[in-house]
Chains A and B, each alone.
Chain A
Amino acid sequence: MSEASDRGHEEFLAEAQDIIEAFSRNLLSLDASFKKGGVEPALLNEGFRAIHTLKGLASLFGVTGLAMLTHRLEDLLDGLRLGRVSISSEVLDVLFAAVEACHLLLAAEREEEDDGAVPDVVHRVLTQIELIGRGAKAAREDDFTIDPGILAVLTEYEEHRLRANLEAGLRLFRVRVQFDLMTIDKELALLKDRARQLGEVITYLPTGESSSPDVLELDLVLASGEELALLVSQLGGEAVAIEEIPRRNALAEARRESAAQVLSRAPLSVSHPASSAPSSVGVPALERGVSVQEKRLARRAVRVDIHKLDRLMNVVGELSLLRSSLRRVADRIKNSGQRQLGGELHRLHRNFERRLEDMQDGILEMRMVPLGQVFDRLARGVRQMSRDVGKEVRLVITGAETEIDKLIVEELGDPLLHMLRNAIDHGIETEAERVRAKKNPVGTIALNAYQKGNHVMIEVEDDGRGIDEKRLIERAVQIGAIEPSSAPDISRDEVMGLMFLPGLSTRDAVSAMSGRGVGMDVVKTNIARLGGVIDVHSERGIGTKMTLTLPITLAIVRALLVSAEEHVFAVPLSSVSEIVLLDSKTRLIDGREVMSLRGSTLPLCRLAEFFGIAKQPQRGRAFVVVAQVGERRLGLVIDSVAGQQDIVIKALGSSLDRVRGFAGATELGDQRVGLVLDTTGIVEEVLSIHDTLRKAVLHA
């Protein structure tokens, strides 16, 4: 494959992915609105359009499986929006299954495994779609009292909507509006928004009459249950005229005046907008006023490979190194007596520094995406899982707009899905149990996200049965992770830590979903790789809350430079809560050195000894960097603090994968490289009190 077509293919994959995700969001809204009892036609339309686009793309790129699936899907959605097929939870199930099937096909295409063979899942979905299609009712022929003049110009869909509205006992209105050609896109969208509050806009058509060439007159056909007077007060204005369109059996005269007039010139512009008379210059754009705007927005967005942003970030990092050199030169010049020149250079330097910061912020911003991207997928998962286990669960999402590094979002899906699965499977009780416990029979899982300083917090909270600590300890003893003798004096926090041991599950019966004990340890490892931590709180009978603390970005980090035995290390500032002088009177508790800090006990770790680089016992003044990881604290004892710096963390080669304690390396200037401490890993390693536990964690 040539490079150009490779890139085209990449873009296809990315775009198809976006469309499927958008469609899946659309389905969730549809599901929600269906449960509330009404289906918003706009949602069906949106879904139909998305799949239609995807079908086009799939055919263009010769992805036959996907093209076939989307083709059928499009038919189904078309049937839904035209009312030929009525929506039901079975239909929604099929649609959700179709999303999964699309993901599957896309994944296969990405792996270049598309050998034309269609996976079973896709077959099943196709069969189901066909079944639904067979049961569809034929288009109704019963004639409502609609003027045939109107019917003639409406598309099948619009006609369906018109009928549906009349059936619901609503009335039809004609809203005639004059628009300035310059602002028509915006104005029309605004008007439609307002009209949507009052009813449904069936169609809008140009009248072809206007007072000046810069003005375009449109007729909107609005179905509404409101009184004319209210419509006038809500939509009215200088350039707006509203009338009710009488039904056919009403005054024929009025009909000629209004409805017929509305529609008399319309057919031309509906079917062939471009070929209509010069008076309708704005028509092609108008006909899809809003979607044109959408398209324009889409065209302004650029898809960028995140590695290109990484490269840019590296350049910024190198520029900051240049900046420091510049500053040194400025200092030298100033000190050599050329004060004025030095001063000028300093000012330039400061300016340069500010611009550089702007640039850095800009690049970071580009990497940020809302967590909603992954939450949508999770909502789908929860819906599926709760049906699978037959528990009714309500998922409440807040903070989906919280932004986080794109790379982190991509890695978050699986761990979060696993946590939700645990909550549904282990946390939420069966309906009968809940009723007995006098709880709401419908379980609730809250997925909350918010920003807190340099971190993004994500909470998964269920109102289920809570974690059985006794059971957890028993299991840990059973799998040999802790000694039976040490079980009684294990602290609460440590108990919660046990659930992350590999091979541990408190469930006796292994369910299809979870309970095999593989999972929470993997979740923890994956979260740790992103520089995050998990904290667990649980109350018996009330529920469990797991909190993820994640860095906002992986690209650039503010770090503290510390030295121990002539080695310089960078400690990400996000994990440092404070720096204090080492207390000369440290004590030993349980064989671990601790000091007291404002009344509480702080465990210590002498960094040089920890890394095995200590040449002699530490003497004289030393500092303690208090590392805070989640809710645990550890004092890292170092010789001195060299300052702060924004660093770009670079990965160490895979040859150093086995070396624990470092998150990567960074360039410190003058060609030197500094190692970045993996604070999470170190705290973990040092604080696992029980040796057996520690071994288990290390060998995980």
Chain B
Amino acid sequence: MPDSVVLGSFLGRHAEHAQELLAFVTQGELYAVPLAAVQEIVVPPPLTVVPRAARAVVGVCSVRGRVVTVVDFRTCMGLPPLEQGRRVRILLGQGENDEIVGLRVDEVRHVVRLAAGELEWTAQSLGGDAADSVLRGIGRPANGEELVLVDMKAVLTKGCA
């Protein structure tokens, strides 16, 4: 099955949880990352802006004594920034060099379980240059909204670059 190759590289070592995804909303659109790639969901602590940092880096914050760089998902996707939102959350995951980096999203929804047949892994059709893209495909649950599948590590790495 050719799909499984792509699936493997996207899910990496979290392949055993392949069907579990965390869905989140940004700009009204539903996205999802593998649940296993999310270490923690935190309510945003006060952010400190880092001058001269990459555009998508919205700042640093302290999560239990650790200084964490936070990347804005909207900026990564080329969307306009969101003024404060009550439901804004930060997903912690591993970026480049296994550094823990935060991904700021508008709102976290729920965990979805998808069967292999409900996932469509297409890198090309979504965002042009496949290597640069952080999107990995579309999830079509039998009874629910479509989800855009995001590669957590790739988006965190891209956001910091």
Q: When the two chains form the complex, which single residue of B45, B69, B95 contacts A652, counting CB atoms closer than 8 Å? A: B69
Which B residues fall within an 8 A CB radius of A? 45-46, 48-53, 57, 60-62, 65-69, 95-97, 99-101, 160
Assess the B52–A661 pair: CB atoms within 8 A. yes
Q: A204 CA to B137 CA in the complex, in Å?
A: 85
8 tightest A-B CB contacts, nearest first: A611-B51, A655-B160, A673-B48, A653-B69, A665-B67, A653-B99, A655-B69, A650-B67
A667 touches B62 (CB 8 A): yes
Instruction: Indicate if A651 sits at the interface (CB-CB under 8 A).
Output: yes
Which residues of A from 636 to 690 have beta carbons under 8 Å from B?
650-656, 659-662, 664-665, 667, 670-675
Given contacts A318-B65, A673-B61, A673-B67, contact A655 B95 (CB under 8 A): yes
Chain A residues positioned under 8 Å from B160 (CB to CB): 655-656
Contact A655 B67 (CB under 8 A): no
Check if A656 sits within 8 Å of B61, measured CB to CB. Answer: no
CA of A673 to CA of B65 in the docked complex: distance in angstroms? 10
Look across to chain B and name the residue whose beta carbon is closest to the beta carbon of A648: B65
Q: A653-B67, A655-B96 are in contact. List 11 more A-B contacts (CB 8 A).
A: A318-B65, A653-B68, A654-B96, A654-B97, A655-B95, A656-B57, A662-B50, A667-B62, A671-B45, A672-B62, A675-B48
* A660 with B52: CB separation less than 8 A: yes
Q: Does A526 contact B (CB under 8 A)?
A: no
Report Cα–Cα, A450/B67, bound state, in Å: 34
Q: Are A672 and B48 in contact (CB under 8 A)?
A: yes
CA distance in complex: A671, B67 (Å): 11
* Cβ-defined contact, B67 with A652, below 8 A: yes
Knowing A671-B45, A673-B60 touch, does A656 contact B50 (C-beta < 8 A)? yes
A and B contact pairs by CB, cutoff 8 A, 14 listed? A567-B48, A567-B51, A650-B67, A653-B69, A653-B101, A654-B97, A655-B160, A661-B52, A662-B50, A671-B45, A671-B62, A672-B48, A673-B46, A673-B67
Question: How far in angstroms is the closest Cβ of chain B from A650?
Answer: 5
Closest partner residue, chain A, to B159 (CB atom)? A655
A314: Cβ under 8 A from any B Cβ: yes
For the complex formed, measure the closest distance between the CB of B32 and the CB atoms of chain A, giving whole angstroms: 23
Q: Are A654 and B52 in touch, CB under 8 angstroms?
A: no
Given A665-B60, A673-B62, A675-B48, A656–B53 Cβ distance below 8 Å?
yes
Q: Does A612 touch B at the CB level, under 8 Å? A: yes
- Give CA–CA (A671, B62) in the complex, Å: 7
Do B48 and A655 have beta carbons less than 8 Å apart? no
Report A-chain residues with C-beta under 8 Å of the C-beta of B60. 652-653, 656, 665, 673, 675
Query: Closest Cβ of chain B: how far from A606's Cβ, in Å?
Result: 13
Contact-residue size bin, chain A (C-beta under 8 Å from the other chain): 20 to 34
A396 within 8 A of B: no
Instruction: Name A's B-contacting residues (CB within 8 A).
Output: 314, 318, 567, 611-613, 650-656, 659-662, 664-665, 667, 670-675
Q: How far is the CB of A393 from chain B (nearest CB, A)?
A: 43
Note all chain A residues with C-beta closer than 8 A to B95: 653, 655
Closest to A612 in B: B51
Cα distance, A442 to B126, chains bound together (Å) = 74
Shortest CB–CB separation between residue B138 and chain A, in angstroms?
29
Decide: A654 and B48 in contact? CB cutoff 8 A.
no
Docked-complex contact A654 and B99, CB < 8 angstroms: yes
Q: Whole-angstrom distance from the CB of B17 to the nearest CB of chain A? A: 26
The reply to whether B65 and A314 contact each other, CB–CB distance below 8 Å, is: yes
A198 to B107, CA, bound (A): 85
Which chain A positions have C-beta within 8 A of B49? 567, 613
Specify which of A661, A664, A670, A674 is in contact with B51 (CB 8 Å cutoff): A661
Chain B residue numbers with a CB within 8 Å of A611 are: 51-52
Of chain A, the residue at the smallest CB distance from B100 is A653
Q: Which residue of B lies closest to A662 (CB)?
A: B50
Minimum distance in angstroms from B52 CB to a CB of chain A: 5
Q: Which residues does chain A contribute within 8 Å of B99, judged by CB atoms?
A: 653-655
A662 CA to B51 CA, complexed, in Å: 9
Q: Is the CB of A665 within 8 A of B48?
A: yes
Task: Tell me the bound Cα distance from A414 to B81 in angstroms.
Answer: 47
Q: How far is A651 from B68 in the complex, measured between Cα atoms in Å?
A: 10
A656–B102 alpha-carbon span in the complex (Å): 13
Instruction: Write the nearest CB–CB distance from B24 to chain A, whole angstroms.
Output: 21
Provide the residues of chain A in CB contact with B45, threshold 8 Å: 671
**Cα distance A653–B49 when bound, in Å?**
14
Q: Which residues in B have their C-beta under 8 angstroms from that of A662?
A: 50
Say whether B69 contacts A656, CB under 8 Å: yes
- The CA of A674 and the CA of B61, in the complex, are separated in Å by 9
Which residues of A are found within 8 Å of B46, using beta-carbon distances?
670-673
Q: How far is the CA of A654 from the CA of B98 in the complex (A)?
A: 9
Q: Chain B residues near A650 (CB, 8 Å)?
A: 65-67
Among B96, B100, B160, max chain A CB count under 10 A is at B160
Bound-complex Cα distance A231 to B99 (A):
70
What separation, in Å, do the CA atoms of A651 and B46 have in the docked complex? 18
CB distance from A178 to the nearest CB of B (A): 61
B11 CB to closest chain A CB (Å) equals: 23
Query: Complex: how many Å from CA A655 to CA B69?
Result: 7
Chain B residues with CB under 8 Å of A675's CB are 48, 50, 60
Residues in A with CB closer than 8 Å to B51 are: 567, 611-613, 659, 661
Residues on A with beta carbons closer than 8 Å to the beta carbon of B53: 656, 659
Q: CA A652 – CA B99 in complex, angstroms?
A: 10
How long is the Cα–Cα vector from A651 to B67 in the complex, in angstroms? 7
Q: Tell whether A667 pairs with B65 under 8 Å between CB atoms, given A654-B96, A656-B57.
A: yes
Q: How far is the CA of A650 from the CA of B51 in the complex (A)?
A: 17
Smallest beta-carbon distance B53→chain A, Å:
5
CB distance from A653 to the nearest CB of B (A): 4
Q: Within the complex, what minimum Cβ distance (angstroms) separates A535 from chain B?
A: 28
Say whether A655 contacts B61, CB under 8 Å: no
CB-defined contacts of B96 to chain A, threshold 8 Å = 654-655
CB contacts (< 8 Å) of A670 on chain B: these are 46
A658 nearest CB across to chain B (Å): 8
A318 to B64 Cα, complex, angstroms: 10
Which A-chain residue is minimally distant from B53 (CB atoms)? A659
In the docked arrangement, what's the CA distance between A415 and B69, Å? 32
Which of A612, A662, A664 has most chain B Cβ within 10 Å? A662
Closest to B101 in A: A655
Nearest residue in B to A674 (C-beta to C-beta)? B48
Q: How far is the CB of A185 from chain B (nearest CB, A)?
A: 47
Residues of B within 8 A of A567 (CB): 48-49, 51
A671 and B45 CA atoms in complex are apart in Å by: 7
Chain B residues within an 8 Å CB radius of A654: 96-97, 99
Q: What residue in chain B is nearest A673 (Cβ atoms)?
A: B48
Least CB distance, B104 to chain A, in whole angstroms: 14
How close is B151's CB to chain A, nearest CB, in angstroms?
16
Contacts of B97 in A (CB 8 A): 654
In the assembled complex, the CB of B10 is this many whole angstroms from the nearest CB of chain A, namely: 21
B residues in contact with A314, CB < 8 Å: 65
Q: Which residues of B have CB within 8 Å of A664?
A: 67
B57 CB contacts on chain A under 8 angstroms: 655-656
On chain B, the residues within 8 Å of A665 by CB distance are 48, 60, 62, 67
Q: Are B67 and A659 in contact (CB under 8 A)?
A: no
Residue of A nearest to B161 (CB): A655
A612 and B100 contacting across the interface, CB-CB below 8 Å: no
Complex Cα spacing A567 to B52, Å = 13
**Nearest chain A CB to B94 CB, angstrom units:** 11
Chain B, residue nearest A670 (CB):
B46
A612 to B49 alpha-carbon distance, docked (Å): 12
